[in-house]
Amino acid sequence: MARGIAQELEHDDRVVFLGEDVASAGGVFKSTVGLLDRFGPRRVRDTPISEQAILGAAMGAAMTGLRPIAEIMFSDFLAVCWDIVANEIAKTRYMTGGQVSLPLVIRTANGGGLRFGAQHSQAVENWAMAVPGLKVVAPATPRDVVGLFAAAVRDPDPVIFFEAKGLYPGKGEVPDGEIVDELGTARVLRNGRDCTIVALAAMVPRALEAAETLAGLGIDATVVDVRSLVPLDTRTILESVAATGRLFTVEENPRLVGWGAEVVSIVAEEAWSELSGPAVRITTPHVPLPSADALEDHARPSAARIVETVRKTLG
Amino acid sequence: MARGIAQELEHDDRVVFLGEDVASAGGVFKSTVGLLDRFGPRRVRDTPISEQAILGAAMGAAMTGLRPIAEIMFSDFLAVCWDIVANEIAKTRYMTGGQVSLPLVIRTANGGGLRFGAQHSQAVENWAMAVPGLKVVAPATPRDVVGLFAAAVRDPDPVIFFEAKGLYPGKGEVPDGEIVDELGTARVLRNGRDCTIVALAAMVPRALEAAETLAGLGIDATVVDVRSLVPLDTRTILESVAATGRLFTVEENPRLVGWGAEVVSIVAEEAWSELSGPAVRITTPHVPLPSADALEDHARPSAARIVETVRKTLG
Amino acid sequence: MPTPTDLGLPETPAFASRVDDELALRLYRSMLRMRRLEKRAYDLFLQNLVKGTSHLALGQEAIAAAFGEAMRADDWTFATYRGHAHTLARSVPMEPVMAELLGRSTGLLSGKGGSMHLTSVEHHMMGSYAIVGAHLTVANGAAWSAQLRGTDQVAVCFFGDGTTNIGAFHEALNLAATWRLPVVFVCENNFWMEYTPIDTVTAVPRPAADRSAAYGLEPVFVDGNDVLAMYDAASAALARARSGDGPTLVEAATYRHGGHSRADPGKYRAEDEIRAWLARDPIDTYRGHLVATGVDEARLKEIDDDVARELDEATEAAKAAPPPDVDLVERDVWADGGASWRN
Amino acid sequence: MPTPTDLGLPETPAFASRVDDELALRLYRSMLRMRRLEKRAYDLFLQNLVKGTSHLALGQEAIAAAFGEAMRADDWTFATYRGHAHTLARSVPMEPVMAELLGRSTGLLSGKGGSMHLTSVEHHMMGSYAIVGAHLTVANGAAWSAQLRGTDQVAVCFFGDGTTNIGAFHEALNLAATWRLPVVFVCENNFWMEYTPIDTVTAVPRPAADRSAAYGLEPVFVDGNDVLAMYDAASAALARARSGDGPTLVEAATYRHGGHSRADPGKYRAEDEIRAWLARDPIDTYRGHLVATGVDEARLKEIDDDVARELDEATEAAKAAPPPDVDLVERDVWADGGASWRN
Ligand SMILES: Cc1ncc(C[n+]2csc(CCOP(=O)(O)OP(=O)(O)O)c2C)c(N)n1
Ligand SMILES: Cc1ncc(C[n+]2csc(CCOP(=O)(O)OP(=O)(O)O)c2C)c(N)n1
Ligand SMILES: [Mg+2]
Ligand SMILES: [Mg+2]
């Protein structure tokens, strides 16, 4: 992640970065170590515990010529500054008739897996998806973290960038050189005949693992990594469903009104006749996340649960 | 509305009511006039503009023996106290292993129709629906306002009570005497053979009006008033879809991840084989609400748009 | 509810400061534009031509006018839903303002924003914000941008007494002070938070001034109906910000003549409270002061007529304009001009 | 970063107040229970038996212990994620606490909450809240309930220096003062907001005490490592609340010996800063004071042994307990015990 931020601070001197403990300390997840030394205290700035002030500062700076990156340490904390996100940043361009541009990124650690309990573990990308005026990105691989982050920072609209904290320890290839990806593009990670499994962020590796297992059971699954909820690459999803006839979504967020419901609904309206059976969402149940490892692991969708659900549904 | 609150203040002396301008002034929508005189300043209390402090006070009071009703003047302002709603009130019972009970109600004026512009007009019941631990109610008639409000206040769990401000000027019969309804029950307002139209709050009268027009065009629609998003009366919806084979939802909220997506997804999984064609959502487009009357009226689903959509879809 | 004299204010504004004649008249004209436009807007409400809500600053004009004149053209204004006066203060013409109130296509925001969201980036009027408190944090951001880019610009942020009790106020003040941002926070204390007297919901008598120490700042309490005192206070705060000494929190004591918003006749206020404040009307008293200090009444009359003409023309033009095209509903969600969230 | 003497604190706690012998020893025992349990918890982290995160109050025990003894059994505690000490202070047994840290079915929250959310309603320990600031507003609610029901109970709310910069702090203090709520706010100023020195992000030197005037309150600044001074401050604040005179905001200067949380070795702090504060360790210095004032070392030794035994038994029992049943995942979302959101 530090690499992705550094790339953008390097690329454009209007880019600035602010948040709690991000500068001197290099971030609580150590994802911003070295940035202060390299870019100095004017461009990499520690803040008080004042999430509203952080995002307000980002917004005001974006209105007046900078391209801020603001960190909200855990995505749960978006709740304390939700007004700035949902009522100010999201709506200002629209309600001013297009006068105000807000090129800014809010990066935040999202989701469970680290046994942090209910107030530090939610997957809340659906909160952001529900708000018109926000773009919403949630990468699943280190390469996408860099490439989609660059795309987010260079985008002229506000982007909420959800980093799956369950994936932080993960490793993956990141090629040398500048990487800039494109928002609004899903990626087909595996092509199969029998069904389409659409997953996001921390659920992507689980969907892939499940697909491998399913292959052994004679079920050949396509796996789509959504990558970006807004803009949403409906074309890729609809094409895949047209090919396989069956849809599964794998969501980390609690059950109700997650992004999976949006995907299912789009398919149910626009590709109904291509479906050859029920569309099924696999989600965390509609509960806050528990802390103990046995409980947390049971709550979040696992590869095993995906396998089981797909097998039963198709079987 | 004043009647509903008075009924509950009367019924249980643990009930208290707090919010901005609710006491001396009787509420900005005049919906709480007379309560202060009748129940006194201890039970009906004006607050500063401190939504977090308001809901925190309600939560702390609910933990310790009271049954508070807190008013958040406009539902958009839930964003400034979203942490107390989504991280504190919603999660506390769960994360304390059931030790803490929070019998409280948050009432709030929701949705558009009064030309108030983007920061005072949103329909955000889907925000609340996305958070496990909250119950979510949105009545469409004066009678339901009283009856469901009573049910909400008497419920042992936290309830967000969305009052459609577009319906405030509306009139309707409210029978004499105590009215107590039941959460989690939808109501079939009209029985038709050809399709099921599921609507909520301010969209209910529009769905009914559309159904009348459709009847004239030879399309006989069932209209279901959802009334309560959590708990959700899936049984009534599924039964109706089983009977008609076609589903339409009418939502005031912006397009993405609304309650309609949840309803469609449940049907697409559990009643797929009962569906005889695409399930279609009718929503406000994914935009903040504009202010000018011509624009606001165009943005929100109208009876005409419902008619048009149903007609075109059923072909 | 304290009377003006309880607060240490004179019975009528003192007008003890001196400014040159041109500026003196500009201040007069500026206040008059605000007053007249808002009175006209009120008439149009009564004719049901202005829809939605609207919050008038009648009685509070001196604050907006003084800052408008003291600010540099490239300084930024951040206002609340009670933002008509602050918009005019930045030399925004009356017509697009009036057209916006009427929901016309020629409105400042093409009818998308309405009364509560007046914005004109061209005039460095960076928006009117309708959620209490939020824009204080946004003003910080503009100030931070000026600081980083070394442009010497100042962000000026106006808000009410009630706003001092919301969390964002506190966060914004602390950040501004800690980062020494070039921002001026102006609390227009009109003693009412909607329909609630501010002293019943606030732990200190002066909602802003009595809190400046919590941010390491000096208390600044000004007669907000004295346009000359306000001009001095504005100039001092702007100079301080521009010199790198950081923010100022100004509390300007004032009063709104009407109700909180369109829907409110303001009946909850005591007769003599209203009377005492009407006697302190910022425009009438200032006009009296100008005449008393030798300004030719003919010059004032000229301004009166000028403003009346501007207003009539603006009103007619606005009324004649068509409503916005419904296509606008799906415009300008994104920088590409559209509303599409999918491919 | 100010040194203790910069802050007007003595080099070692003064222990100038007097309490009776029984209480003196109870305070000692209480601090020791906290210290030992947290050190054990730390060992268990290192063995990877405690998962998730955890925030120790090592070095800050005097505050929790003093309040624990000064509070009435039916007064309420509201704590943060750094809440082990405050939980023990309310006489919660060690075993369910330890079991919760280990994620066992016998945990205080059956493993659902973890280290950051310790709660025992039975002991009036009303929760540990992990979002900075929120619980100040919740404590107000309990105080309001006591006020309305006339029960004479007081809500006591603990939080850190960094918390004074978030909006909820401001809203909570203003409401408490305006409503004269029986609530005591205790800012444990350990001079660090996670890895950031508090003075670099705060506009005033004493984050809480220098802000009390903004809420019409007197500043209260106490040596948080002097358990007797803390006991006095706690008693005074509780008495004030109980007598209907409203809230107190106490700032207790202290220091955490370790890092912010499990993941943090705390290496960003200067050696002599740490040294100065270790010399002010609340337990060692207090033990020294007790012995110097004539308490028999044997009695202290007895307490030491007692606590050691309690801890060993609690640890063994917790380790032996099974993990929670996965059925718990769908329990206790609602008052009916379940998680069902539909029929
Ligand atoms: C967060 C939030 N809470 C409540 C409101 C509703 N509201 C609008 S204006 C207002 C009163 C504001 O009082 P004050 O700050 O004194 O400003 P004034 O209207 O007097 O100019 C309130 C409560 C709001 N817009 N935003
Ligand atoms: C709203 C919010 N922002 C950020 C955090 C992350 N966080 C947890 S503890 C902490 C530092 C708190 O500092 P302080 O209040 O001094 O308490 P201490 O940890 O020193 O006891 C931060 C920033 C949080 N939990 N909640
Ligand atoms: Mg006011
Ligand atoms: Mg601290």
**C2, pLDDT greater than 80:** yes
Rg of chain A on CA atoms, in Å: 19
The DSSP code sequence of B29-51 is TSTTTTHHHHH-TTTEEE--S-H
Interchain contact D139–B (C-beta under 8 A): yes
Over residues D274-297, mean pLDDT: 97
**Band of pLDDT at residue C123, cut at 50, 70 and 90:** very high
- Helix then strand then coil, % of chain C, to nearest 5: 50, 10, 40
Neighbours of D174 (CB within 10 A): 29
Is there a contact between D101 and D111 (Cβ–Cβ < 8 Å)? no
Which residues of B are marked as active site? 120
Kindly report, residue by residue over B64-108, the tens digit of the pLDDT.
999 999 999 999 999 999 999 999 999 999 999 999 999 999 999
The DSSP code sequence of C263-318 is T---TTS-HHHHHHHHTT-HHHHHHHHHHHTT--HHHHHHHHHHHHHHHHHHHHHH
Ligand 3 ion: Cβ-proximal residues, 5 Å cutoff: C 160-161, 190, 192
**Band of pLDDT at residue A28, cut at 50, 70 and 90:** confident
**Which ligand sits nearest to residue B48's alpha carbon?**
1
**Cβ contact, residue pair C326, B28, below 8 Å:** no
Burial class (CB in 10 A: 0-12, 13-18, 19+), A308: middle
Chain mean pLDDT for chain A: 96
CB of D196 within 6 A of ligand 2: the answer is no
The pLDDT of residue A172 is 81
d(CA B85, CA C62): 40
Chain mean pLDDT for chain D: 97
**Band of pLDDT at residue D248, cut at 50, 70 and 90:** very high
Over residues D144-154, mean pLDDT: 98
CB of D57 within 6 A of ligand 2: the answer is no
Q: How far apart are the first and last CA of chain D?
A: 59
Residue window 298-337, chain D: list those with CB within 8 Å of chain B.
328, 331-337
Which residues on chain A are in Cβ contact (under 8 Å) with D201? 46-49
Chain centre to alpha carbon of residue A111: 10
**A104, pLDDT greater than 80:** yes
Mind spelling out the 3-state secondary structure of chain A? CHHHHHHHHHHCCCEEEEECCCCCCCCCCCCCCCHHHHHCCCCEEECCCCHHHHHHHHHHHHHCCCEEEEEEEEHHHHHHHHHHHHHHHCCHHHHCCCCCCCCCEEEEEECCCCCCCCCCCCCCHHHHHCCCCCEEECCCCHHHHHHHHHHHHHCCCCEEEEEEHHHCCCCCCCCCCCCCCCCCCCEEEECCCCEEEEECCCHHHHHHHHHHHHHHCCCCEEEEECCEEECECHHHHHHHHHHHCCEEEEEEEECCCCHHHHHHHHHHHHCHHHCCCCCEEEEECCCCCCCCHHHHHHHCCCHHHHHHHHHHHHC
Interchain contact B40–D (C-beta under 8 A): no
Over residues C12-38, mean pLDDT: 97
Residue D335: inside a domain, yes or no?
no
Over residues B145-172, mean pLDDT: 93
Distance C314 CA to ligand 1 centre (A): 29
Chain mean pLDDT for chain C: 97
Is there a contact between B66 and B58 (Cβ–Cβ < 8 Å)? no
Residue C312: inside a domain, yes or no?
yes
Query: What is Dmax (Cα atoms) for chain C?
Result: 69
Whether cis (ω within 30° of 0) applies to the bond prior to D323 is: no
**Band of pLDDT at residue D295, cut at 50, 70 and 90:** very high
**Cβ contact, residue pair A83, B79, below 8 Å:** yes
Kindly report, residue by residue over B117-148, the tens digit of the pLDDT.
999 999 999 999 999 999 999 999 999 999 99
The pLDDT of residue D144 is 98
Nearest CA in chain C to A158: C334
The pLDDT of residue C62 is 98
Kindly report, residue by residue over D208-243, the tens digit of the pLDDT.
999 999 999 999 999 999 999 999 999 999 999 999
**From residue D193, how far is each of A106, B229, D200, D274 by CA, in Å?**
21, 40, 10, 16
Q: Which domains does chain B have, with CATH numbers?
A: 2-167 (3.40.50.970), 187-314 (3.40.50.920)
| Atom 18 in ligand 1: residue holding the nearest Cα | C160
The pLDDT of residue B149 is 97
The DSSP secondary-structure symbol of D182 reads: S
Rg of chain C on CA atoms, in Å: 20
Sheet strand arrangement including D220-223: D125-129, D76-80, D155-160, D183-189, D248-253, D220-223
The DSSP secondary-structure symbol of C183 reads: E
d(CA C58, CA B223): 49
Residue D327: inside a domain, yes or no?
no
Query: What is Dmax (Cα atoms) for chain D?
Result: 69
**Nearest-neighbour CA in chain A from C40: distance (Å):** 23
CB of A20 within 6 A of ligand 2: the answer is yes
The pLDDT of residue D26 is 98
Kindly report, residue by residue over C229-284, the tens digit of the pLDDT.
999 999 999 999 999 999 999 999 999 999 999 888 888 999 999 999 999 999 99
Residue C117: inside a domain, yes or no?
yes
**Nearest-neighbour CA in chain D from A182: distance (Å):** 34
Neighbours of A47 (CB within 10 A): 27
Residue D323: inside a domain, yes or no?
no
Best residue of C204, C248, C251 to probe chain D, by most D CBs closer than 10 Å: C204
Cα-Cα-Cα-Cα torsion C205, C208, C211, C215, nearest 10 degrees, comes to 180
Q: Which domain, by its residues, includes D285? A: 5-318
Chain A and chain C share a number of CB contacts under 8 A equal to 162
Over residues D262-290, mean pLDDT: 94
Residue D15: inside a domain, yes or no?
yes
Best residue of A52, A82, A134, A154 to probe chain C, by most C CBs closer than 10 Å: A52
Residue D257: inside a domain, yes or no?
yes
**Band of pLDDT at residue A263, cut at 50, 70 and 90:** very high
The pLDDT of residue B171 is 75
The pLDDT of residue D263 is 81
Task: Report the candidate in B119, D188, D138 with the shortest Cα–Cα distance to residue C117.
Answer: B119
d(CA A13, CA C145): 12
Kindly report, residue by residue over B48-66, the tens digit of the pLDDT.
999 999 999 999 999 999 9
Kindly report, residue by residue over B10-48, the tens digit of the pLDDT.
999 999 999 999 998 888 888 888 999 999 999 999 999
Is there a contact between C275 and C3 (Cβ–Cβ < 8 Å)? no
3 state DSSP class of D153: coil
The pLDDT of residue B5 is 94
d(CA B122, CA B289): 7
| Atom 2 in ligand 1: residue holding the nearest Cα | C132
CATH, residue D163: 3.40.50.970
Distance C215 CA to ligand 4 centre (A): 19
| Total count of domains within chain C | 1
**Nearest-neighbour CA in chain C from A213: distance (Å):** 32
Interchain contact B52–C (C-beta under 8 A): yes
The identity of residue C236, as a single letter, is A
**A31, pLDDT greater than 90:** no
Whether cis (ω within 30° of 0) applies to the bond prior to A205 is: no
Burial class (CB in 10 A: 0-12, 13-18, 19+), C48: exposed
Which residues on chain A are in Cβ contact (under 8 Å) with C148? 16, 42-43, 61, 66
**C297, pLDDT greater than 80:** yes
Chain mean pLDDT for chain B: 96
Residue D206: inside a domain, yes or no?
yes
**B223, pLDDT greater than 80:** yes
Return phi, psi of residue A136, to 5°.
Answer: -135, 120
The pLDDT of residue A10 is 95
The identity of residue B16, as a single letter, is V
**Band of pLDDT at residue C301, cut at 50, 70 and 90:** very high
d(CA A7, CA C251): 44
Kindly report, residue by residue over A142-195, the tens digit of the pLDDT.
999 999 999 999 999 999 999 999 997 777 888 889 999 999 999 999 999 999
Is there a contact between D64 and D88 (Cβ–Cβ < 8 Å)? yes
Q: Which residues have any ligand 1 atom within 6 Å of their CB?
A: B 20, 49, 51, 73, 77, 80; C 82, 130-132, 159-163, 190, 192-194, 260
**Band of pLDDT at residue C326, cut at 50, 70 and 90:** very high
Kindly report, residue by residue over C65-100, the tens digit of the pLDDT.
999 999 999 999 999 999 999 999 999 999 999 999
Over residues B281-309, mean pLDDT: 98
Residues 6+ apart with CB under 8 A from D115: A117, A291, D41, D50, D52, D53, D54, D55, D81, D84, D100, D101
Distance A217 CA to ligand 1 centre (A): 62
Residues 6+ apart with CB under 8 A from C30: C61, C64, C65, C68, C69, C88, C89
The pLDDT of residue A130 is 98
Task: Retrieve residue A40's tokens.
Answer: 């100095």
> Which of D194, D199, D201 for a ligand 2 pocket mutation test, highest count of atoms within 8 Å of Cβ?
D194
pTM reported for the whole predicted model: 0.98
Beta strands in D33-75 (DSSP E): none
Start-end of H helices in B84-141: 92-95, 125-129
Kindly report, residue by residue over D12-55, the tens digit of the pLDDT.
999 999 999 999 999 999 999 999 999 999 999 999 999 889 99
Interchain contact B57–D (C-beta under 8 A): yes
Interchain contact B174–D (C-beta under 8 A): no
